[in-house]
Amino acid sequence: MAKDLYEVLGVEKTATDDEIKKAFRRKARQLHPDVNKAEDAEDQFKELNEAYDVLSDANKRAQYDRFGTIPGAAGSGPQYVDFDDIFGGGFGMGDLFSSFFGGGGSQNAQARREGRDMGVGLRLTLEEVAAGVKKEIVYDRLAPCPDCKGTGLGPDGKEVTCPECHGQGRVVTVQRTFLGDMQTATTCPRCHGTGRTIENPCPECEGQGRVPDRQRLTVEVPVGIRDGQQLRLTGFGEAGMQGTRSGDLIVTCRIKPHEYFQRDGDNLHTRVNVSIVQAALGAEIEVDGIFEDERVQVRIPEGCQNEQVVRTRGYGMPRFKSDARGDLFTHVNVVVPKKLSKRERELLEALATEMGEDVAPERKPFQKIKDAFN
């Protein structure tokens, strides 16, 4: 049985949006892998995220209060970060942890103070690419702390020289070995190498200047974007520590396969069935275009062969950030009728006679049954 979402966040049912947000941050911090070594920390983190997902959205929360279930499990609402899309699967919660908390650790301290770039995938339909679209994306990041505006300073806070390293940014430890004293200099753990620490840090972010937050962004996807093309949103990646530079958010566009159309650059390919008569005599037929309600006149030439491709200029995809369009290529599939009316058979037999071709005589119904048993 699913847990009560309010209990997961540890708030009352009457909690305000701000209380919910703060409770989420507090709990997310408790589950930080550096702090929490419990085996189920990742599961708890996931549960926390799911609860926050519902309770931070006014519509979902109202629905949950009313029906006691989690609304919009799949397919509805905004598009969520789809890490599998860009990293080819295997993106575990451990990685989500580090993207959320800015983990890692191999980089030097100075670089780690700045926010990292983040990546999200955005799935689009071909119709959306043709018309251009605004999409809401939702993702978790370390955002500038709203209480201290990213400075990390509390109400009476100030920056002081680090008492641990006396402003050097490095601490030297001496180890006695049989070869003599060995000195090792390491980055100061207290100030992360900056030589400065904060007195009376902001209680909300504990002096970090950034807090875990759920970000909702509306992205305008330009017309004609290609599969795999990326949009860079400056400053929307991980926030830097104590007001240092934020990373960017890189949105990788992924275009879903289409039921009727195949895209080849700015051109579109589609298939159409025509009868043997239309193929022989030529025809003007209508096919669906990529835009809603668009109908395209395709001219099937006289004597058209099966698999022949007919080009209709100007009915392909719109070119990137442009009004011009590529071409539509219609692949013709000539369909031979499986059943003929009496009249149709007579006409075709007359045609066979005219063309001097031998054809099989019409089989009587009982012969057809006999054939079926052979």
Interface residues toward Zn ion, by CB under 5 A? 145, 147-148, 162, 164-165, 188, 190-191, 202, 204-205
Comparing CB distances to Zn ion, the nearer of 145 and 296 is 145
Ramachandran category for residue 104: left, alpha or beta (phi over 0 → left; psi -120 to 50 → alpha): left
- 266 near 329, Cβ under 8 Å? no
Comparing CB distances to Zn ion, the nearer of 164 and 266 is 164
Q: Taking the complex as a whole, how short is the minimal distance between the CB of residue 183 and Zn ion, in angstroms?
A: 17
Pairing of strands 170-177, 249-255: unpaired
Count how many residues are written for the chain: 374
309 beta partners = 331
Comparing CB distances to Zn ion, the nearer of 195 and 282 is 195
Comparing CB distances to Zn ion, the nearer of 130 and 162 is 162
Q: Taking the complex as a whole, how short is the minimal distance between the CB of residue 142 and Zn ion, in angstroms?
A: 12
Where do runs of H (alpha helix) occur along the chain?
Answer: 5-9, 17-30, 41-55, 58-67, 83-87, 93-101, 109-113, 126-131, 276-281, 342-355, 365-373
What is the C-alpha separation between 22 and 211, in angstroms, rounded?
10
- 247 near 237, Cβ under 8 Å? yes
Q: Taking the complex as a whole, how short is the minimal distance between the CB of residue 149 and Zn ion, in angstroms?
A: 8
Beta strands in the chain (DSSP E): 79-80, 118-124, 133-144, 153-161, 170-177, 180-187, 196-201, 210-221, 230-233, 249-255, 262-264, 267-275, 283-288, 295-300, 309-312, 328-335
Q: Taking the complex as a whole, how short is the minimal distance between the CB of residue 162 and Zn ion, in angstroms?
A: 3
Q: Taking the complex as a whole, how short is the minimal distance between the CB of residue 56 and Zn ion, in angstroms?
A: 19
Place of tokens 């005219």: 354
Structure tokens that stand for 158 in this block: 């100030």
Comparing CB distances to Zn ion, the nearer of 50 and 204 is 204
Comparing CB distances to Zn ion, the nearer of 28 and 304 is 28
Comparing CB distances to Zn ion, the nearer of 170 and 299 is 170
Comparing CB distances to Zn ion, the nearer of 28 and 148 is 148
Q: Taking the complex as a whole, how short is the minimal distance between the CB of residue 170 and Zn ion, in angstroms?
A: 8
- 214 near 140, Cβ under 8 Å? yes
Phi, psi of 356 (to 5 degrees): 65, 35
Q: Taking the complex as a whole, how short is the minimal distance between the CB of residue 191 and Zn ion, in angstroms?
A: 3
